[in-house]
Amino acid sequence: MFEPEQCVILLDGAMGTELQSMGLMTERIPEGVNRTNPEAVIDIHRRYIQSGAEIIYTNTLGVNRYKLDGSGYLVKDLIQAAVQNAKTAVALEKESSDNENHSVRIALDCGPIGTMLKPNGDLSFTEAYEIFREIVVYGKEAGADLVVFETFTDLLEIKAAILAAKENSDLPIFASMSFEENGRTFSGVSIPSAAITLTALGVDALGINCSLGPDQIFPLAEEMTEWTNLPILVKPNAGMPNLTTGKYDISPDEFAESMSRFPAIGIHLIGGCCGTTPEFIQKTKERIQSCHFGKTLNQERTVLCSSVKAVVVDRVRVIGERINPTGKKRFKAAITNHDIAYILNQAIEQTTAGAEILDVNVGMPGIDEPTFMAEVVEAIQSICDAPLQIDSSDPKAIEAALRIYNGKPLVNSVNGEDKILHTILPLVKKYGAAVIGLTLDENGIPQTAEDRIRIAEKIIKTAASYGIPKQDVIIDCLTLTVSAQQSQALETLQAVRLVKERLGVKTILGVSNVSFGLPEREIINTTFLTMALTNGLDLPIMNPNNELMVNAVEAFNVLSNMDVHAEKY
Amino acid sequence: MFEPEQCVILLDGAMGTELQSMGLMTERIPEGVNRTNPEAVIDIHRRYIQSGAEIIYTNTLGVNRYKLDGSGYLVKDLIQAAVQNAKTAVALEKESSDNENHSVRIALDCGPIGTMLKPNGDLSFTEAYEIFREIVVYGKEAGADLVVFETFTDLLEIKAAILAAKENSDLPIFASMSFEENGRTFSGVSIPSAAITLTALGVDALGINCSLGPDQIFPLAEEMTEWTNLPILVKPNAGMPNLTTGKYDISPDEFAESMSRFPAIGIHLIGGCCGTTPEFIQKTKERIQSCHFGKTLNQERTVLCSSVKAVVVDRVRVIGERINPTGKKRFKAAITNHDIAYILNQAIEQTTAGAEILDVNVGMPGIDEPTFMAEVVEAIQSICDAPLQIDSSDPKAIEAALRIYNGKPLVNSVNGEDKILHTILPLVKKYGAAVIGLTLDENGIPQTAEDRIRIAEKIIKTAASYGIPKQDVIIDCLTLTVSAQQSQALETLQAVRLVKERLGVKTILGVSNVSFGLPEREIINTTFLTMALTNGLDLPIMNPNNELMVNAVEAFNVLSNMDVHAEKY
Ligand SMILES: [Zn+2]
Ligand SMILES: [Zn+2]
Ligand SMILES: [Zn+2]
């Protein structure tokens, strides 16, 4: 639909503040004007089209079941009216225009619900999803060309909206959040986390709107370009509100001047938010006529995130292994007794000790793993910044966790078996995760490095066929027990090296298994860990409370020049 | 002179026991018979030649200044007479023989002095050298074709003899020692240590004679083939002496039967010692007519030794760094006060902690380093089995130590500077050592791995031009301080890998320097050590009393399948 590499696409400016200046914002539900005074809405749309806007947003920002409750308005009615008004404006402009190429598309505009999701508020993820589903369905029925979710501050809420749109329409999706000058949304979402998560969720464009003027948004937009390859949209306000007059503080010329800087940093979609008028868009169009992109976006890093913290795999990152009941009586009891506090304590202890990612496994016979997994993931995310690794052999448990995960997680795991690949990879793609590929298949763990690499290749290729880029596939060459199969330690290490060299993907490895059955396991584990790191291991899964091992990782990061000036060490 | 690959060369049998059976061994100096009854000696030589001996030994085993003292005989006279007797025998046989191709060579036979060298006895290395020098000079003047040192049990004594022969003649040298059934000489020299050291000293053949019969020597000779590529000689007795009769217990046919097994294990030179007669040699000749070599000797391992212990660099071996005054007040005081006991204690502490090789550096301004170095090496060797690494920047100190070193040591070091290469490498070759090549030259330490490898290539090539095989050149890629030059740790590690891969030589590295200026140096050192081992480091020079580092080495040997079944770990 869009070919944003080629040119800047102009969006429209504010609807609300325009209506306000026309004295039409007196109702509790401002979008009621779609029905009470459609001509005013159509007029504003037409003036934006005349100013050069190629995409116009329907007047539906606050239209949702929660906000309309008790107002007498229905979501369906207002959305139908709003889309119709936009269509009317487009049709009228088409008739009166000489320019046949001037095709204008209609974006169904959708803002946040207006109440917080759990655990901060009362709304469940599923309830939020339902609210958005309804909006998308009506918008699609009414004939919108795309959906734009904007002004969001909660990453999980916009994820619910995006899933609702993906699962109930084929409309392109724009996703835009509002940031404060510190680069965080009201709820703490960072620019990287927003960009990584929205990109992984497969939207068509993502961006920043409202809250700030163009000059304040500029550095945030620039940061955003570091974290996505997708088209970025920017819709700033007309400056900051003047504290005495309450009016926005910059002129159309000043706005256009500021906006003309955006294409050079790679911003593709440009418009205005609160306080902007057709004149702002007109002036902006004039200024950006001849500008061109100064930057090609090319983000191929492996990165995971929570809503507030991104972890780039550009140096060794420790994955904490302790949230796992296998072989742990106390942990099993915690699951049986629904003792979430115990599990949260494991999370805190591990991140305090230096784990940057946490594996979460709650698999145990006799529990409802999907429900419990989702609950634990939600609980950990409410108290812990670290991105999570969702570890289960039950696809339902993986999906339950993926659905409510706030950010971009890592799925543990797929392997070379077709059945598993074709069950799990679609989930990984849909929910915007990265995935671990174990180098084993129907025939077990191959004895040789070469055979493990063949399986890794198959996993990477199959992932690509689902649209999962190779930086989101992390290969586990599998650690065997050296006391049982002594030559296998070298085979694993060799596989790690070859996977890095030949396939160019990141590697992950559980370390502790190597020393099973030997005395002083910690020494064997630490040495094997360092050997694996030397051969290119990126993500050791280990007990971060083992000081020897954590020391080895930190020293490795210094010696391999990844912890520059030994700042972390 | 010899082309032993092509066929077995037959040596003669006993002289002493033949004379005895003729009733001619009544003098205190049995070799007096060379003058008192030359016809008898000539007759025995002739009968050996008739039996097929291609090399006959002069009747001079006990002829030396120490043994002749007070006897009225002179070394010069007896050697001249003995060589003349052998020459006469050869000439007479040549006249009477039809076989024109039957050329017989005369070996100047020389046994141990008959009194022990320091520190076990009173004789100094230099005194021993002088005794042998005299013998070699007279033997050469008299016209011997080669020198054979046989029946030795002290490796240092035979080294003195070999150096006397090399420095005072161009005669080929055979070196043969006498072992007991446990594979050790009377003074404890092992088969590997004897073979390694004699091979490194550049003799023309080495072997085993006397003390045991052919069946007892067979496994020892077989072991010897594992440790040298040189021709091996075997001269067993005619079995073991019968305890009641005092006579040797096997017949010529039995002897020949046993001797016929030797060519198949790669033994080139075959004869008899005590109790053997011309008939033994005749029967042996008949039995080995059609035999051929079953084994090609191809010993290319890197190996160092003391007289009692060989260390093969087939897995990681720790080199103790502590015998070195640099930066150590207490050690400097020990040198100043000639406190050898302190230094010996450093040696014992390190080997107890797991060091398998010890670096010895006593360089300090104001001392006579050559004398002190030799004294310290001698003292350490008297109490400690570990091979030593002779570490000095003074070529005179290196030579002083090399000369009296008992076994095959490692010289620390040469580098890419021509002046140093052409000063030190001739010493390394002459005294049969291995050598460390530092990858630096006149221009300092190169910043890149590639440039260090170029220097390594030059060192290996120059060593080869002196006849030092590449397994005896061990490359040090040089550890820099990571706090000063952070990227250099990776450069060193890369160099280690490339030196192994491209040049196929062993590597050595001082480890501790990497962490200078950082906190918790031990962690950085241990991690760097493991990284270096993973990249192919064979010989870490380190403090073996650091438990973390020793643990890492032991764990590495398990994980890399070098310590099979974790027996050492
Ligand atoms: Zn706004
Ligand atoms: Zn003998
Ligand atoms: Zn043959």
The rounded Å distance from CA A266 to ligand 2 centre is 93
With an 8 Å Cβ cutoff, are A530 and B535 in contact? no
What digits encode the pLDDT tens for the residues B106-120?
999 999 999 999 888
Report whether A556 contacts B531 (CB < 8 A): yes
Residue A100 confidence class, pLDDT cut points 50, 70, 90? low
Nearest-neighbour CA in chain B from A207: distance (Å): 38
With an 8 Å Cβ cutoff, are B524 and A555 in contact? yes
With an 8 Å Cβ cutoff, are B565 and A527 in contact? no
What digits encode the pLDDT tens for the residues B391-416?
999 999 999 999 999 999 999 999 99
The rounded Å distance from CA A211 to ligand 1 centre is 6
Q: Which residue of A has its CA nearest to B531?
A: A534
Can you give the pLDDT at residue B44? 97
Q: For the residues A524-536, what does the mean pLDDT come to? A: 96
The rounded Å distance from CA B215 to ligand 1 centre is 101
Specify the DSSP class assigned to residue B502. I
With an 8 Å Cβ cutoff, are B530 and A520 in contact? no
What digits encode the pLDDT tens for the residues A113-142?
999 998 889 999 999 999 999 999 999 999
DSSP string, A330-393: HHHHHHHTT-HHHHHHHHHHHHHTT-SEEEE----TTS-HHHHHHHHHHHHHHH--S-EEEE-S
Q: For the residues B348-368, what does the mean pLDDT come to? A: 96
Query: Does any CB of chain A come closer than 8 Å to the CB of residue B558?
Result: yes
Exposure pattern of B403-418 as b/e (b: 16+ CB <10 Å)?
Answer: bbbbbbbbbbbbbbbe
Q: Which amino acid is at A94?
A: K
Which residue is it, tokens 């906000």?
Answer: A67
Query: Does any CB of chain B come closer than 8 Å to the CB of residue A256?
Result: no
Report whether B538 contacts B316 (CB < 8 A): yes
Specify the DSSP class assigned to residue B248. B
Q: From CA A154, how far away is CA A374, in angstroms rounded?
A: 18
Q: From CA B394, how far away is CA A366, in angstroms rounded?
A: 76
Tell which wins on pLDDT, A57 or B566: A57
Residue A299 confidence class, pLDDT cut points 50, 70, 90? confident
Nearest-neighbour CA in chain B from A519: distance (Å): 9
Residues 6+ away with beta carbon under 8 Å from B436: B389, B410, B411, B412, B413, B414, B474, B475, B476, B508
Can you give the pLDDT at residue B98? 66
Nearest-neighbour CA in chain A from B536: distance (Å): 11
User: Is the pLDDT confidence value at A309 over 70?
Assistant: yes
Count H helices and E strands in chain B, helices first: 20, 19
Phi and psi torsions of B241, nearest 5° = -65, 135
Q: From CA A133, how far away is CA A127, in angstroms rounded?
A: 10
Residues of chain B contacting residue A482, judged by C-beta atoms under 8 Å apart: 558-559, 566
Half-sphere exposure of B345 (CA within 13 A, CB side): 7
Q: Which helix (H) or strand (E) holds B436?
A: strand B434-438
Q: From CA A178, how far away is CA B64, in angstroms rounded?
A: 102
Pairing of strands B232-235, B205-209: parallel
Query: Does any CB of chain B come closer than 8 Å to the CB of residue A558?
Result: yes
Q: Which helix (H) or strand (E) holds A422?
A: helix A418-430
Adjacency order of strands within the sheet including A303-306: A310-312, A303-306, A407-408
User: Is the pLDDT confidence value at B146 over 90?
Assistant: yes
Specify the DSSP class assigned to residue B389. E
Residues of chain B contacting residue A556, judged by C-beta atoms under 8 Å apart: 527, 531
Residues of chain B contacting residue A497, judged by C-beta atoms under 8 Å apart: none
Can you give the pLDDT at residue A567? 77
Structure tokens at A368: 């409802």
Which residue is it, tokens 């217990």?
Answer: B249
Can you give the pLDDT at residue A294? 52
Q: For the residues A462-484, what does the mean pLDDT come to? A: 95
Query: Does any CB of chain B come closer than 8 Å to the CB of residue A414?
Result: no
Can you give the pLDDT at residue A119? 81
Can you give the pLDDT at residue A3? 54
What digits encode the pLDDT tens for the residues B64-104?
999 999 999 999 999 999 999 999 999 999 888 766 556 89
The residue ranges of DSSP E strands in A395-493, in sequence order, are 407-408, 410-415, 434-438, 473-476
Can you give the pLDDT at residue A18? 87
Nearest-neighbour CA in chain B from A488: distance (Å): 8
Can you give the pLDDT at residue A292? 56
Q: From CA B31, how far away is CA B47, in angstroms rounded?
A: 19
- The lowest-confidence range among A237-251, A391-405, B48-62, B199-213 is A237-251
Report whether A126 contacts A82 (CB < 8 A): no
Query: Does any CB of chain B come closer than 8 Å to the CB of residue A277?
Result: no
The rounded Å distance from CA B273 to ligand 2 centre is 4
The residue ranges of DSSP E strands in B62-184, in sequence order, are 105-110, 146-152, 173-177
Residues 6+ away with beta carbon under 8 Å from B544: B318, B320, B322, B350, B351, B353, B354, B355, B550
The number of the ligand nearest the C-alpha atom of B238 reads: 2
Can you give the pLDDT at residue B356? 97
Half-sphere exposure of B403 (CA within 13 A, CB side): 20
Q: Which amino acid is at B513?
A: N
Q: From CA A294, how far away is CA B500, in angstroms rounded?
A: 46
Q: From CA A108, how far away is CA A161, in angstroms rounded?
A: 12
Structure tokens at B4: 């032993």
Can you give the pLDDT at residue A6? 54
What digits encode the pLDDT tens for the residues B456-472?
999 999 999 999 999 99
Phi and psi torsions of B304, nearest 5° = -120, 160
Cβ-based contacts under 8 A for chains A and B: 104
- Of A497, A525, A534, A567, which to mutate for an interface test with B (greatest number of B Cβ within 10 Å)? A534
Which residue is it, tokens 């920043």?
Answer: A208
Nearest-neighbour CA in chain B from A429: distance (Å): 37
The rounded Å distance from CA B88 to ligand 1 centre is 120
Phi and psi torsions of B382, nearest 5° = -75, -15
Rounded to the nearest integer, the mean pLDDT of chain A is 93
Report whether B560 contacts B532 (CB < 8 A): no
The number of the ligand nearest the C-alpha atom of B291 reads: 3
Whether the upstream peptide bond of residue B258 has omega within 30° of 0, thus cis, is: no
Pairing of strands A9-10, A269-270: parallel
Can you give the pLDDT at residue B3? 53
* C-alpha closest to that of A561 among B453, B491, B520: B491
Q: For the residues B216-236, what does the mean pLDDT come to? A: 95
Q: Between the CA of residue B1 and those of A535, B165, B172, B458, what are the distances in Å?
A: 51, 17, 8, 32
With an 8 Å Cβ cutoff, are A531 and B526 in contact? no
Complex ipTM: 0.85
- The lowest-confidence range among A57-61, A401-405, A462-466, B263-267 is B263-267
Q: From CA B344, how far away is CA A520, in angstroms rounded?
A: 32
Q: Between the CA of residue B321 and those of B352, B396, B545, B555, what are the distances in Å?
A: 14, 21, 10, 21
Residues 6+ away with beta carbon under 8 Å from B348: B383, B384
With an 8 Å Cβ cutoff, are A527 and B566 in contact? no
Q: What is the pTM of this model?
A: 0.89
Query: Does any CB of chain A come closer than 8 Å to the CB of residue B526?
Result: yes
What digits encode the pLDDT tens for the residues B247-271?
898 999 999 999 999 988 989 899 9
Q: From CA B530, how far away is CA B234, in angstroms rounded?
A: 45
Exposure pattern of A2-17 as b/e (b: 16+ CB <10 Å)?
Answer: bebeeebbbbbbbbbb
Residues of chain A contacting residue B524, judged by C-beta atoms under 8 Å apart: 555, 558-559, 569
Residues 6+ away with beta carbon under 8 Å from A354: A318, A544, A550, A553, A554
DSSP string, B315-343: S--PEEEEE--TT-HHHHHHHHTT-HHHH
Q: From CA A135, how far away is CA A76, in angstroms rounded?
A: 8
Q: From CA B553, how far away is CA B317, in angstroms rounded?
A: 8
Nearest-neighbour CA in chain B from A528: distance (Å): 7
Residue B490 confidence class, pLDDT cut points 50, 70, 90? very high
With an 8 Å Cβ cutoff, are B559 and A487 in contact? no
Q: For the residues A455-470, what does the mean pLDDT come to? A: 97
Q: What is the three-class DSSP state of A18?
A: helix
Closest in A527, A551, A560 to B559, CB measured: A527
What digits encode the pLDDT tens for the residues A327-368?
999 999 999 999 999 999 999 999 999 999 999 999 999 999
User: Is the pLDDT confidence value at B150 over 90?
Assistant: yes
What digits encode the pLDDT tens for the residues B270-290?
999 999 999 999 999 999 875
Residue B6 confidence class, pLDDT cut points 50, 70, 90? low
The rounded Å distance from CA B2 to ligand 3 centre is 14
The rounded Å distance from CA A23 to ligand 2 centre is 126
User: Is the pLDDT confidence value at A262 over 60?
Assistant: yes
Query: Does any CB of chain B come closer than 8 Å to the CB of residue A514?
Result: yes
Residues 6+ away with beta carbon under 8 Å from A187: A120, A153, A154, A155, A307
Q: Which residue of A has its CA nearest to B486?
A: A561
Can you give the pLDDT at residue B81? 98
Q: From CA A21, how far away is CA A30, in angstroms rounded?
A: 13
Q: Which helix (H) or strand (E) holds A43?
A: helix A38-51
User: Is the pLDDT confidence value at B344 over 90?
Assistant: yes
Can you give the pLDDT at residue A101? 53
Structure tokens at B96: 């009477």
Number of residues that this document lists for chain B: 569
- The lowest-confidence range among A3-17, A422-436, A492-506 is A3-17
Q: What is the three-class DSSP state of B493?
A: helix
Residue B568 confidence class, pLDDT cut points 50, 70, 90? confident
What digits encode the pLDDT tens for the residues B205-224?
999 999 999 999 999 999 99
Q: Which helix (H) or strand (E) holds B449?
A: helix B449-465
Whether the upstream peptide bond of residue B193 has omega within 30° of 0, thus cis, is: no
Q: Which helix (H) or strand (E) holds B82?
A: helix B75-96
Closest in A490, A551, A561 to B486, CB measured: A561
With an 8 Å Cβ cutoff, are B490 and A556 in contact? no
Q: From CA B436, how far away is CA B56, in angstroms rounded?
A: 41
